[in-house]
Amino acid sequence: MEAQFRTAITDLFGTRLPIVAGGLHWLADANYVAAAARAGIIGFITASSFENGARLRAEIDRCRDLAEGRPFGVNISMLPKPTPDEKVNEYIDEIIGGGVRFVETSGRSPEAFLPRLHAAGIKVLHKAPSLRHAKKAESLGVDAVSIVGAECGGHPGVDLIGSMIQGALAGAAINIPMLLGGGIGTGRQVMAALALGVDGVTIGTRFLVADEIWAHDDYKELLITLKETDTALMMQSVRNTVRALRNSTTEIVNDLERTQAGDFSVLRPHVAGALGRQAYLSGDASSGALSLGQAVAFADRREPLARIIERIEAEMISTTNALSRFH
């Protein structure tokens, strides 16, 4: 029997639902990504969470065992400009050697790496902050694109275009499988995105309270109390906008940007990734650049990822039934 929510995205990844669990820096490990696979969606291990290719390869092998033959991928997040110590090629070595079939790229253009990835039979999903970036990625030959709206956690781009606008524009303009992300955390929103003409959604923040996310329980309990207004934008002066949990770090960074706009060197000590990782470990989220989207408003309890997805799917079905009255 044909899957109820079959789209170009489910066909591309071989999943049951048109939902992607986007890469979460530090947090998207084998436990989380395999749980996504078993629940009928696809997730991506974040390569940058591992200090070298060997560590990443070990995580890939562990994920394959836990995923029980279901599809999963690896996220490669790249800085706007290459650096001497960049490990992208090292990570790609292990991705190819590990037999990974799907890669999610983000940050700068993946053009330099596409020939090698495609030669290995790997499908590439590129995450873009706007339609123009998505169209460029499409022209380069990526297999799918994900466009994120201003509501998303992490990097929503400099133009800060909302997800409803992004989805409507991209749904009519992109000719390859495409996803919409940013502020999405319910089944009703998934169906709204499909109605806009996209093929699926990317979800990150909503899944942060899943049992399989290794972050401290105190951090998850905090997320459950938050509203959509409890995030803040920062790093706009260096054209690398980040939406994060509103805390002392976002206040300090925004103060520095008002007085020393455009100088990343003064911001770097406050936004270092290691500080965020420590917050996840300790549960003390009062400082650290902790990527968080407005969909935190939908994070209502701690539970297994499969249960969160089950609830979203039930809402997708009920929404479909409700809309049938317009037929």
Residue 1: per-residue pLDDT = 41
Note the pLDDT tens digit of each residue in 282-306: 999 999 999 999 999 999 999 999 9
Residue 6: per-residue pLDDT = 97
Note the pLDDT tens digit of each residue in 13-46: 999 999 999 889 999 999 999 999 999 999 999 9
CB-based burial label for 301 (10 Å; 0-12, 13-18, 19+): exposed
* pLDDT higher than threshold 70 for residue 74: yes
Q: Which two tokens stand for residue 133?
A: 């970036």
Q: How many angstroms separate the CA atoms of 101 and 104, rounded? A: 11
Residue 82: per-residue pLDDT = 82
* pLDDT higher than threshold 50 for residue 253: yes
Mean pLDDT, the chain, whole residue set: 95
Percent of the chain with pLDDT over 70: 99
The C-alpha R_g of the chain, in whole angstroms, comes to 19
Q: What is the mean pLDDT of residues 212-238?
A: 97
CB-based burial label for 197 (10 Å; 0-12, 13-18, 19+): middle
* Residue extent(s) of CATH 3.20.20.70 domains in the chain: 8-214+303-326
Note the pLDDT tens digit of each residue in 86-106: 999 999 999 999 999 999 999
CB-based burial label for 240 (10 Å; 0-12, 13-18, 19+): middle
Q: Which of 77-91, 205-219, 242-256 has the lowest mean pLDDT?
A: 77-91
CATH class of 8-214+303-326: alpha beta
**Measured at the alpha carbon of residue 184, what is the angle toward residues 211 and 216, in degrees to the nearest 5?**
25
Note the pLDDT tens digit of each residue in 44-72: 999 999 999 999 999 999 999 999 999 99
**Measured at the alpha carbon of residue 191, what is the angle toward residues 190 and 195, in degrees to the nearest 5?**
120
Q: How many angstroms separate the CA atoms of 140 and 313, rounded? A: 34
**Closest by alpha carbon to 149, among 196, 188, 187?**
196
Residue 2: per-residue pLDDT = 54
Q: How many angstroms separate the CA atoms of 181 and 126, rounded? A: 12
Alpha-helical segments (H) within 5-113: 8-13, 30-38, 53-67, 88-97
